[in-house]
Structure 1
Amino acid sequence: MEKELKYGDLVEQPISMHPKKFALWLFMVTVVMIFAALTSAYIVRQAEGNWLDYELPSIFWITSGIVVLSSVFLHWSYRSAKKDDLVQLRIGMVGAVVLGLAFLVGQWYSWVALVDREVFFVGNPAGSFLYVFTGLHALHLVSGVIFLIIVLISTFRYKVHSQSLNTMEMATTYWHFLGGLWIYLFMFLLLNH
């Protein structure tokens, strides 16, 4: 005996995503578009000439390591949340927040190093682009650190665990995105400097 199919059986179920996650992904797409436009403008403007040659601050290597290490801490924290290991979750979150703050301090010192080399925001487009790249990324990183602090506080209120991972997943996605964005910018600057 054949089962009678109804119209509802033939309709595919839509892919669902939490609205906040969807908004985060849209935001990240806009950030990618902004930085893609800026890097394209950098290449076009560099080809026009009148471009200051200077050495990138060596602290960029250190901050790159810091941002990668912070992502490792955050991923460890996320995996701990999935296992309901709240102690490891908190340790990982504290590590990610501290390293995120260290990255921001490192970015400040990179600007100090640029000023010491007489590379300023005004005067030459090469310096202007570098300050815009690092400043805009730092601004997004500040929002990421705030997000991590919110999640860290939530871990002490027992709001992050294996049955409640949405905020943790969003913070992890955003932080890994910011880390990847920095690595992209740093590699772009190394290759196009």
Structure 2
Amino acid sequence: MSVILVFLLVIFCVAGWWLANQRIMSKPWLEGGVVGALPDNDVTHMPTAKVGLGVLLAVIGGLFALFASAYFMRMEYADWQAPPMPAVLWLNTGILALASVALHCAVVAARGGRMDTTRLALAAAAIASLVFLAGQLVAWRELAAEGHNLRVNAANGFFYLITGMHGLHIIGGLVGLGWTVRQVWRSQTITARLRLGVELCAMYWHVLFVIWLGLFVLLAGWASNLVAACRQLLM
């Protein structure tokens, strides 16, 4: 229960920071200026797609928080034997970080109207994401080759379930990223719609990267120490 509360607290803090930047709590009727002129970054200018994606990402974060909570509760049983951490997961983490950085660069380039840089950054993010998925399959094969199959131990099942669900979310994001790449390569200039598509992809990848970091800490066996440290800080 402590894990899910800490995870949800982090999600709410990030969501509150993002909403504050979007001026969701602003009161334009109390602001000075010409009558009828709204600020450029008023809430009415916030794309609906961003709000919808924010809600979706909150749900995804809650889902993985539930997985983490179930993981911790199952660890209390005597038959729990966590599988060894495949070394390739370290490389996968770096590759997913590169995908997130590439998408951030794509957002900066799109806002600056630099088409070539935007295309290059989007392509790099897509390739890095595919390499990440391939690396996850390599990790599965390594565990299976060492005898850590799905039915051998509950810990093995959790490993395949959690990493598999995260991989499915990456695949789902690749569908949207592929559509965005296609639109950018077919266009000659960066339009507002294309820029929004790039920003949505970046939002999705940033959150999935943060979730993966949490899962990595969980699967590596460091989560118990982290939760204990959080409890000491809260006491």
Query: Structure 2-normalised TM-score?
Result: 0.73
Correspondence for 1:168: 198
Query: In terms of mean alpha carbon deviation, does 153-162 or 109-118 score higher?
Result: 153-162
Cα distance, 1:159 vs. partner? 7.5
Q: Which runs of 4+ in 1 moved over 6 A?
A: none
Q: Structure 1: which 5+ residue stretches go unaligned?
A: 1-7
Closer/same/farther in 2, CA of residues 166 and 56 from structure 1, 3 Å limit: same
CA displacement 1:64-93 (0-9 Å, x = unmatched): 000001111111111111111111111111
The answer (yes or no) to whether the contact 2:96–2:132 under 8 Å persists in 1 is yes
Identity of matched residues, %: 28
* Corresponding residue number in structure 2 for 1:151: 180
Specify the alignment match of 2:134 in structure 1.
105
Say if 2:103 and 2:198, in contact at 8 Å, map to a contact too: no
Report the CA distance between 1:54 and its aligned residue: 2.7
Structure 2: gaps of 5 or more residues:
1-27, 32-37, 225-235
TM-score by length of 1: 0.88
> Is residue 49 of structure 2 the alignment partner of residue 30 of structure 1?
no
CA drift of 1:19 comes to: 2.1
- Structure 1 residues 160 and 152, CA, compared in 2 at 3 Å: closer, same or farther? farther
Q: Does 1:179 align with 2:209?
A: yes
8 Å CA contact retained: 1:78, 1:168: yes
**1:88 aligns to 2:117 (yes or no):** yes
When residues 187 and 150 of structure 1 are mapped into structure 2, their CA distance, relative to the original with a 3 A threshold, is: same
Q: Distance in 2 between matches of 1:134 and 1:148?
A: 20
Query: Separation in 2 of the partners of 1:18 and 1:140?
Result: 23
Rounded Cα–Cα distance in structure 1 between residues aligned with 2:126 and 2:154: 33
RCO higher in 1 or 2 (8 Å CA, sep ≥ 6)?
Answer: 1
Asked whether the equivalents of residues 82 and 162 of structure 1 are also in contact (C-alpha less than 8 Å), the reply is no
Partner of 1:119: 148
1:57 to partner: Cα distance: 0.6
Task: Give the Cα separation in 2 of the matches to 1:118 and 1:188.
Answer: 21
Q: Is residue 2:48 matched to residue 1:19?
A: yes
Change (3 A) 1:66 1:155: same
C-alpha RMSD of the superposition: 2.1
C-alpha distance in structure 1 between counterparts of 2:201 and 2:48, whole Å = 15
| Number of aligned positions between the proteins | 185
